[in-house]
């Protein structure tokens, strides 16, 4: 009798370990697909955006300032011109740029028919 009860307990413990491992695997997969993968996708999109920047492109910084790229100094630094008076030229890191609008891509439409 005692041996039979011990064998049943051992089998129950084995299945509970398997179910515990499966639950952990499911949670790891959920975290990967909900947190890690979208973050990697967003980082790749920002890298592509920064690599496609050229002088003359209009940008918006992470602080909300709008400007125009004058020069790309190196892989991390660009010279940006802010304002209408053409006197505000600031070197800034590419990571501070949130959006890029390619030069000449904006269309002006007349409302006249």
Q: What is the pLDDT of residues 55-96, one digit of tens each?
A: 999 999 999 999 999 999 998 899 999 988 778 899 999 999
Spatial distance between the Cα atoms of 106 and 68, rounded to a whole number of angstroms: 14
Rounded to an integer, the average pLDDT of 94-107 is 80
Contact 5, 12 (CB under 8 A): no
* Chain centroid offset of residue 12 CA: 45
What was the pLDDT predicted at 81? Answer: 93
Residue 3: pLDDT band with limits 50, 70, 90 = very low
Spatial distance between the Cα atoms of 58 and 52, rounded to a whole number of angstroms: 12
Spatial distance between the Cα atoms of 97 and 69, rounded to a whole number of angstroms: 10
What was the pLDDT predicted at 107? Answer: 53
pLDDT above 90 as % of the chain: 57
What was the pLDDT predicted at 59? Answer: 93
pLDDT, mean over the chain: 82
What was the pLDDT predicted at 5? Answer: 45
* Chain centroid offset of residue 9 CA: 49
Tell me the two tokens of residue 28.
Answer: 């790891």
Q: Where are the domains of the chain?
A: 1-51, 54-101
């Amino acid at each position: 009798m005692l041996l039979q009860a011990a064998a049943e307990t051992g089998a129950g413990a084995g299945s509970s370990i398997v179910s515990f491992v499966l639950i952990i695997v499911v949670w790891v997969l959920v975290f990967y697909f909900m947190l890690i993968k979208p973050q990697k996708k967003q980082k790749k999109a920002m890298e592509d955006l920064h690599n496609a920047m050229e002088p003359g492109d209009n940008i918006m910084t992470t602080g909300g300032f709008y400007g125009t790229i004058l020069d790309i100094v190196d892989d991390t630094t660009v010279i940006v011109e802010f304002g209408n008076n053409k006197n505000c030229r600031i070197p800034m890191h590419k990571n501070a740029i949130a959006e890029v609008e390619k030069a000449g891509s904006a269309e002006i439409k007349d409302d006249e028919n």
